[in-house]
Amino acid sequence: MTKLNRVLPLATLMDVEALKAEAGRAACKYVEHGMNVGLGTGSTVKYTILELGRRVKEEGLKIIGVPTSIATESLATEVGIPLASLDDLNGLDIVIDGTDEFDPQFQLIKGGGAALLREKVVAQSSARMVVVADQRKQVATLGDFPLPVEITPFSHLTTVRALEKLLGCSVTLRTNEAGTLVTDNGNYIVDAHTGPTISNPLEMERMILNIAGVVQVGLFINMCDVVVLASSDGVVVLEKA
């Protein structure tokens, strides 16, 4: 992983939110006229969506967006980005999304926003994936952030027990103010508290997906090409070797 170029020098006193905003906007440089663009979900990517909306209105940028969540669809519509279903397009040129963690091999943990299934479908359909993140998401080994797994509501406790047996850690059902969190797809999210031990994410992904009640797991393997990183040094771009 190599620091390639400084996008913008920033004062050290700038807060994390301001850095995230700069990173989100900087990622827009990868979007060109005529592209089909996957629009991710999360607190950093919202700044990307806002900037793309500005470019559509003020610069005449012609793009078609594919949102990865209902929340992203609502924001993109609000700022004037034309949207389409992935089924109606012949793939995507690029997806810009956030991450909960990334390691030196650019492997990701995603799903903190409970949109991992749609995010992975969109990422797999994209020719290039650009991730926007702040430096807290950069880790040596994945797993300090609990690994999200989307599961079916049917016999979900059986699936939880199977995951705990497989991974040797606690697995908790994610909740919100309404009770059990339900995804945009009508499923549940559980979080596996593995700790920073995921040194072979490809093998872990394979094992988890082998459990019948699992719909998808928040390990994004060999998908990310670029990370636009908000760090204490400013906003920098990291590209996969």
Give the C-alpha separation, 133 to 181, whole Å.
Answer: 24
Query: Can you give the CATH number for the domain in which 161 is found?
Result: 3.30.70.260
In a domain, 156, yes or no: yes
Q: Based on the domain organization, do 117 and 81 belong to the same domain?
A: yes
Q: Based on the domain organization, do 13 and 128 belong to the same domain?
A: yes
Q: Based on the domain organization, do 103 and 151 belong to the same domain?
A: no
Q: Could you tell me the two tokens for 191?
A: 């979080």
In a domain, 127, yes or no: yes
Give the C-alpha separation, 39 to 97, whole Å.
Answer: 7
Q: Could you tell me the two tokens for 62?
A: 């012609």
Nearest 5°: CA angle at 168, between 201 and 199?
25
Q: Based on the domain organization, do 200 and 232 belong to the same domain?
A: no
Query: Can you give the CATH number for the domain in which 62 is found?
Result: 3.40.50.1360
In a domain, 124, yes or no: yes
Question: Which of 119, 203, 205, 239 is the catalytic position?
Answer: 119
Handedness of CA 26, 97, 105, 198 (dihedral sign): positive
Q: What is the dihedral of CA 108, 112, 115, 119, to 10 degrees?
A: -20
Q: Based on the domain organization, do 211 and 192 belong to the same domain?
A: yes
In a domain, 15, yes or no: yes
Q: How many domains does the chain have?
A: 2
Q: Based on the domain organization, do 117 and 151 belong to the same domain?
A: no
Q: Based on the domain organization, do 127 and 169 belong to the same domain?
A: no
Q: What is the pLDDT of residue 51?
A: 96
Q: Based on the domain organization, do 171 and 76 belong to the same domain?
A: no
This prediction has a pTM of 0.90
Q: Based on the domain organization, do 99 and 120 belong to the same domain?
A: yes
Q: What is the pLDDT of residue 11?
A: 44
Helices (DSSP H) in the chain: which residue ranges? 16-26, 45-59, 70-78, 116-124, 156-167, 201-209
- Residue 146 DSSP label: P
pLDDT in tens, the chain (241 residues): 544 444 444 444 357 788 888 899 999 999 999 999 999 998 889 999 999 999 999 999 999 999 999 999 999 999 999 999 999 999 999 999 999 999 999 999 999 999 999 999 999 999 999 999 988 999 999 999 999 999 999 999 999 999 999 999 999 999 999 899 999 999 999 999 999 999 999 999 999 999 999 999 999 999 999 999 988 778 899 999 8
Q: Based on the domain organization, do 180 and 230 belong to the same domain?
A: no
119 is catalytic: yes
Give the C-alpha separation, 169 to 161, whole Å.
Answer: 10
In a domain, 66, yes or no: yes
Give the C-alpha separation, 160 to 150, whole Å.
Answer: 11
Q: What is the pLDDT of residue 231?
A: 83
Q: Based on the domain organization, do 131 and 151 belong to the same domain?
A: no
Q: Based on the domain organization, do 31 and 118 belong to the same domain?
A: yes
In a domain, 142, yes or no: no
Domain that holds residue 99: 2-135+221-239
